[in-house]
Structure 1
């Protein structure tokens, strides 16, 4: 099988990192993955992961150095080396910046480079404010060419009624669809399995 070259951006929403990491163990078997970390992920240790531990887990899944600066992200566009970019988890902040053309970090600049090269960008969002300003930004961004979404659901409608998170169990299926320039449907699901 011909492995696709995947650029994988990881932003905050630290409570989702473990689930995304479990999906990455499967994805790396079929794809050649290069990671791009947001500044927040690069510099923050949280109750979910110490930054060194998380980085070490990612390094085990890729033969490529981790991209974690704007200087390194700037090389992505001219290299045209990747078939698709995934941003998972994508925070409301990252989605807002992409929707408004702000490319001031390693992940957003990498996404801009992929879109410049007319390559698909798959976004797996997780936010406590989707049914608010964040949702409007994601929907506006999703109307653009080459943008695809990992299906999502309300993760705790009773206690966090504005919150959504992506169906990480559908990440591989959404990635395969985006590689064919298709949106996996439905975009909004009732619950996770």
Structure 2
């Protein structure tokens, strides 16, 4: 899967830089063309000539040392890449990337590239768990960067724990798997809904729910990574749009209904993960209602059932719903799957610890109309999204991993 792929390998300054030499060799053996960028500190561990000999390509160490006067070096390398890999990625390099700092050849090229970026962290176990590093990793994850998790074991600093750069053979295998998966939904149009809706009472008050949109945004991000053309329809959230995703913002359930139904026919896969209000105030007020000493009640009316309409009108679309429940999860989920004519449903119990609204993790049961049942234990929402989408791709395209 890496044959003829153009890979830029960024090597930052940690003891694990010696593994990057072996990684370069393995990538070349797998058929890739590799260009190496080294930070100044990386050169204190391994000489650039080592990477030049292994890659049979020039090694880049200085933004201002132009190897070809007809080109701007960091832009040329950024555009050349099919894939960008940082291994080892130190806390310093991760911090630069997360905060938009471009003060050397590696960080400058990273900001200029549009290729997918894979980050393989390597550092002391306490550094890896520091709040600043975790915050930077979280930011990069939200922007769509991909991670090769460090392994656990004996570290150069003498500690034993998480922070060791993954073995070169494992990294190559992971990249090959990623390349294979990146074609699973190629040519498919995917529509995803995310977040809550807001149902106004007056200009300053509304009914809503705790949804943050994290699950839907993870689905959009991972669908793009799998090669799909993605449209994301989102209620009010404070999340950045995933790279390569077309986003439509809405507020109310009626807004969501109109946006979804206008896009439905042109999509191959529709995943409705938004938490849309079932009811809205029957009457809304143009001015702020003043409080009074008396009790106040709001008469509510049903909103339109978007998922039901999609199930009733679908033709060739593969339709996936979500069921957020607090009890009898599979009973209610199976009813929803059947009654709304869904092809599959993702069921999760939002009353369980670290699952559901606002969390970065989730646990679900994935069920298809043919009866395929997959238990997905607690994991990051991005990991869960990827697993769900791989299952959907298997159903839609017949291609499985």
TM-score, L = length of structure 1 = 0.76
Alpha-carbon deviation of 1:144?
0.9
Number of equivalent positions:
171
Query: Does the CA contact (< 8 Å) of 1:152 and 1:167 recur in 2?
Result: yes
In the TM superposition, 1:101-180 aligns within 5 A as 101-114=100-113, 118-128=114-124, 129-132=127-130, 133-145=132-144, 147-156=145-154, 160=159, 163-168=162-167, 169-179=169-179, 180=182
Larger RCO, structure (CA 8 Å, separation 6 or more): 1
Alpha-carbon deviation of 1:172?
0.8
Q: 1:24 to 1:64 in 2, by over 3 A?
A: closer
- Listed one character per residue, the Cα deviations across residues 91-139 of structure 1 (whole Å, up to 9, x for unaligned) are 000000101111111111111111xxx2101111111101112222122
Q: 1:70 to 1:76 in 2, by over 3 A?
A: closer
Q: 1:166 to 1:41 in 2, by over 3 A?
A: closer
Alpha-carbon deviation of 1:152?
2.0
More strand by share: 2
- Listed one character per residue, the Cα deviations across residues 70-108 of structure 1 (whole Å, up to 9, x for unaligned) are 235953335621101111001000000101111111111
In the TM superposition, 1:74-89 aligns within 5 A as 75-78=73-76, 80-89=79-88
Query: Does the CA contact (< 8 Å) of 1:10 and 1:36 recur in 2?
Result: yes
Farther off after superposition, 25-34 or 166-175: 166-175
Is residue 63 of structure 2 the alignment partner of residue 64 of structure 1?
Answer: no
| SS, match of residue 122 in structure 2 | strand
| SS, match of residue 155 in structure 1 | strand
Consecutive unaligned residues of structure 2, counting only runs of 5 or more, are 183-224, 227-381, 385-401
Distance 2:28 2:76 in 1: 24
More helix by share: 1
| 4+ long deviations beyond 4 Å | none
Query: Does the CA contact (< 8 Å) of 1:36 and 1:67 recur in 2?
Result: yes
In the TM superposition, 1:5-84 aligns within 5 A as 5-14=6-15, 16-29=16-29, 30-42=31-43, 44=44, 49=45, 51=46, 54-71=47-64, 72=66, 75-78=73-76, 80-84=79-83
Q: CA RMSD in A?
A: 2.8
Higher-Rg member (1/2): 2
Query: Does the CA contact (< 8 Å) of 1:131 and 1:162 recur in 2?
Result: no
TM-score, L = length of structure 2 = 0.39
Q: 1:162 to 1:136 in 2, by over 3 A?
A: farther
